[in-house]
Amino acid sequence: MEYLSLGKILDSFGLDGTLKIYSTTTNGKMRYKTGATVFLFNPKNNERTECKVLNYRHNGLFDFVKLDKIQNKDDAISKKGCEIHVEKNQNDLQKGQYYFCDLVGCKILDNLGKNLGIVSEIEEFPAQLTLRVKRDKQEDFFVPFVKEFIKEVDITKKVIVINVIEGLL
């Protein structure tokens, strides 16, 4: 089973054990629905504990989540540094949507098949998502993840074909 990280636990929020989480998901409202299953993941020992969401709210960069297995502030504090995971499910995506982790590592090719580099990360700017592309012995370049630039995405082959315009590279 593959998992996606929704964020990292920073601290407790309140006395009831609500977790303050630095969010790395763009869809917390769906991921943290009341009754949804999430997993507490401890990177120190690779343990994953299944939990149910009791309550959720979002503020800025942070998600505030109450889980059934965290009963009080001390329980929450003991989970600092842990991550919240969900099972990766391709059925959660609509056509043309991708998980960030699936885009990272994809080869970027131009319309003629020339290899331009590898996606090293996804940047979130106010206007749109943008791919950061790492090149050998050259500066990184950025490709807006919009249809004007992205011609084809093949996650199984780890390839993205882009339209190169003047000034992009």
pLDDT tens over the chain, length 169 residues: 889 999 999 999 999 999 999 998 888 999 999 999 999 999 999 999 999 999 999 998 899 999 999 999 999 999 999 999 999 887 778 888 888 889 999 999 999 999 999 999 998 887 888 999 999 999 999 999 999 999 999 999 999 999 998 888 8
What CA–CA distance (Å, rounded) separates 163 from 3?
32
Burial class (CB in 10 A: 0-12, 13-18, 19+), 88: middle
What CA–CA distance (Å, rounded) separates 128 from 52?
32
CB atoms within 10 A of CB 141: 16
- The span from the first CA to the last CA of the chain, in angstroms, equals 38
pTM: 0.73
Whether 122 and 129 have beta carbons less than 8 Å apart is answered as yes
Per-residue burial over 89-120, b if 16 or more Cβ lie within 10 Å, else e, is eeeeeeeeebbbebbeebbbbeeeeeebbbbe
Whether 56 and 63 have beta carbons less than 8 Å apart is answered as yes
